Structure formats: C-alpha cells, structure tokens
Structure 1
Amino acid sequence: MKTLLKPIALFSAFAMILLLSAMNLKPKKIIFFGDSITQAGVKPGGYVDLIKKALDSSKYEVIGAGIGGNKVYDLYLRMEDDVLNKKPDVVVIYIGVNDVWHKQSSRTGTDYDKFIRFYEALIKKIRANGAKVVLCTPAVIGEKKNNANEMDADLDKYSGAIRDIAAKNNLPLCDLRTIFKTYNAENNIEDKEKGILTSDGVHLNAKGNQTLADNLLPLVQ
C-alpha cells in the first residue's frame, strides 16, 4: 500500500506544479478605458500601442476600450461589456476631457457633483470585479500657458476631484493635468494653443502619446 501511495503523492505534486505553472503563464490583462484619446491610442504610435510594444507580450495582454465623445457616465453604462466581462487585472480610467469640454461646446457635459458620483461608482464596480484601478487626470483643452485657455479652471477643478478620489482610495494616479501644464510652461515658448503635446489642443500628437506612455507604463506593470 505504501508503494502505491508514493507514486500517487508524486503525481499529485507534479500536477500541482503544472497547475501553478499554467496560472503563472496567464498574461496580465490591462484595459485602457476612455474616450477618443484612448480610441486613437491603439493606433500605431498611440499611447496604448507604445505601452503594448514596451511590455512582454507573453506576460501582458493590452486592450484599448476607448470610444470618441465618451464621458464618465458613458463609461459607466458600457463598463459591463467592455471591462468587467473581460476579467482584467488592471484598468486604467482616462476620462474627463469631454465632461468639461462638452459643457461649453454642446451643453452636454457632466456637472461636477455627478462626475464625482459616476467616477466613484466606476471604481467601486471595477475593484469589486478584482482589478487594480489606475486613474488619470484630464490633460488639456488648449495648450496656452498660465491658465489662458477657456476651460482651464474647470479642468483644474475636475482634476482636483480625481486626485482626491485617488488619495481617498489609495489608488495609483497619472496626473496628466500637472504633467502637461508643466511641459507646456517649459516648452511652449510661443504660447501656442496646440502643437506641443496635442494636434488640436486636445488629442495627442506623437510627443503627447510618448509622454503619456512613459508616465503610465510604470503604473500598469
């Protein structure tokens, strides 16, 4: 009987090793959840594409889930299909530009209090699904310096809310608002409205995509 138990024990141990190895081989799934900036980010040279290329494809699966025009409540409404059902390990939330911008451009933006409630609800559901959450502040709507862009005050206010949410929930934060403002202060010599880190004052050019990728990469690994 003892001679029979020994091979069974060895087989069980071997099976456990194989199981653990298989679990370790499963790539870490990262979803970038946002608006048109993220939608464009999956294209060659976009920030999602740059991060994907910087990571080992055998260890990471990178998915872009951006839709143009989206605001925070759009993310909440499509979260089940585009995020939760995919069982990600990490979700990067990059939203807020349209919530501010569309208040002025089409009267369909998101009031500050509603923005916070939807944002916190997003985080709660994603974390309950077992994923790590990384937050990003909205970068710019116009690249002029010294708060000369029309919507700078609102962007600062909404970015401040995201910083507070990150601190309250002990979440990693990519503070793009501060990063982009600092870069423009130092490099936008002619005080241009666009063309420094963006192509049109909002959407990222090559330098903007690289800047975002460089700052996000350490937070998603």
Structure 2
Amino acid sequence: MKQISIFAIILALFTLSSFMPQQKKKVIFFGDSITEAGAKPGGYITRIADLATKEGTAANYDFVGAGIGGNKVYDLYLRLEDDVLSKKPDVVVIYIGVNDVWHKRSYGTGTDANKFEGFYNALIKKIQAQGAKIILCTPAVIGERTDFSNELDGDLNFYSNMIRNIAKKNSLPLVDLRTAFLDYNKQYNKDNKESGVLTSDRVHLNEKGNQFVADEMWKVLKQLQ
C-alpha cells in the first residue's frame, strides 16, 4: 500500500510538471549599432527568432537586443550591469570590435589592443560570475573588397585573432563572422565591390547580411546546452 502511495505521488508530480509553463532561455545580444539595428524589423536578431520559429523552438527563447550605436568594448563594460546583468540572462552574445578598430582612423578614439583585450576579458569574467553562458563573435568587415585593399583589414584581422584566442583560452563558443564574411565575399563579390554584398556601407548589414549573420549565429546558439 505504501508503495502504491509513493507511486501515486510521483505520478501526480510528473503530471503537474507537464502543465507548468516552460522557462524560456533569455538570450541578450550585446553590441554596437549593428546589434541595435539587429533588433529592429528585418534585423539579424528578429531573423534568428524567425529561424527558431521555423524549427519549432521559438517558445524556448526570449531574444533581447542590447546594442547602442558607436559603442566600443569599454562602453559595453560600463553599461554591462544596467543593460545585461540586471536582466538575468541565460546567454550573452558579445558582438563588438568594429568601432574599436574603425574609430581609430575615423575619429582617433578607437581602442588600443591591450585595452581591448583587458576590457573583453573583464566582460567575460563578470558575465560568468552571474552564471550566464557566453558566445563570442569576431567583427565582420570594414569594407568588402577581396583584394586586401580595405584600409583596415590588417587591424580587423588582428583584433579578430585576439577574440579567437580569448574564446579558445576560456573554452567559449565562437561565431567567426570575420572568416565567414571573407569566405562569402571571395565567392560572391566577383566585382571586388567595397560594399553592397553583405553590407550597405562597408560596415552595417543589408538585408542579405542580416540573414547571413542570423544563420551563422543560430548555428552556434541552438547547440548551446
């Protein structure tokens, strides 16, 4: 009789749990103007949500954009608590680096390599301390030419390598947009155009670019346990 009672309790608990709403995984995309635009209609974040819907997993996720135009890695560090940690994310996707390189040449306000690495590691440490998982992304392009004539290719490659090494050192998943964009342009940018393939202005994503980034991020995100 006692065994029957225990079985009945277990069965009741199992039945009750099946009716409880599933906890959504909150994913925050943390970055600059590319991410700010990514949260708007047609942006890469909304397209990731569309991909989840097509695969029948949209109910498992809450996708949140936290991008601000002009941000560099230290801007992310300064607003980490208010814009990310206070929202209790399960996953944080860090997509930063373009302005750290680009603004050196355009405004003289970029980020030196040692400071970039230091702030980046500090971001990771604080996010992990709260228990959230992290996905890193390399910055994609500042110009889409494929003949090595983009002015900032060298610096962008250097900073992308830093992010790759940080990901490896911390055993974190990486969305290597730098490599993915270069490979895509080598195949499809036959006219060696400066923009108009995946970007609208050498940096910001056009419609095709937003879908491309969504596809690349979703491959990694959906595998995260």
- Tell me the TM-score normalised to structure 1 length: 0.91
Deviation at 1:57, TM superposition (A): 3.2
Question: How many residues of Structure 1 are paired with residues of Structure 2 in the alignment?
Answer: 218
Alignment of 1:53-68 (within 5 A): 53-55=50-52, 56-68=57-69
Alignment of 1:20-39 (within 5 A): 22=20, 25-39=22-36
Alignment of 1:190-205 (within 5 A): 190-205=191-206
**Are 1:92 and 2:89 matched, yes or no?**
no
* RMSD, aligned α-carbons: 2.0
Q: Which amino acid aligns with 1:46?
A: G
Which position in structure 1 is the counterpart of 2:83?
82
Which position in structure 2 is the counterpart of 1:217?
218
Q: Which runs of 5+ in 1 are unaligned?
A: none
Please list every run of at least 4 consecutive aligned residues from structure 1 whose deviation after the TM superposition is greater than 3 angstroms: 6-22
2:147–2:192 contact (8 Å) kept in structure 1: no
Which position in structure 2 is the counterpart of 1:157?
158
Alignment of 1:1-221 (within 5 A): 14-15=12-13, 18=16, 22=20, 25-55=22-52, 56-221=57-222
Question: Quick one: percent identity of the two aligned structures?
Answer: 59
1: CA distance, partners of 2:182 / 2:149? 11
Tell me the secondary structure at the aligned position of residue 139 of structure 2.
coil
1:30–1:220 contact (8 Å) kept in structure 2: no
Q: Which amino acid aligns with 1:209?
A: N
2: CA distance, partners of 1:207 / 1:122? 30
User: Aligned pair in 2 of structure 1 residues 90, 141: CA closer, same or farther (>3 Å)?
Assistant: same
Q: Which runs of 5+ in 2 are unaligned?
A: none
Deviation at 1:42, TM superposition (A): 1.1
Deviation at 1:131, TM superposition (A): 1.0
Deviation at 1:19, TM superposition (A): 5.7
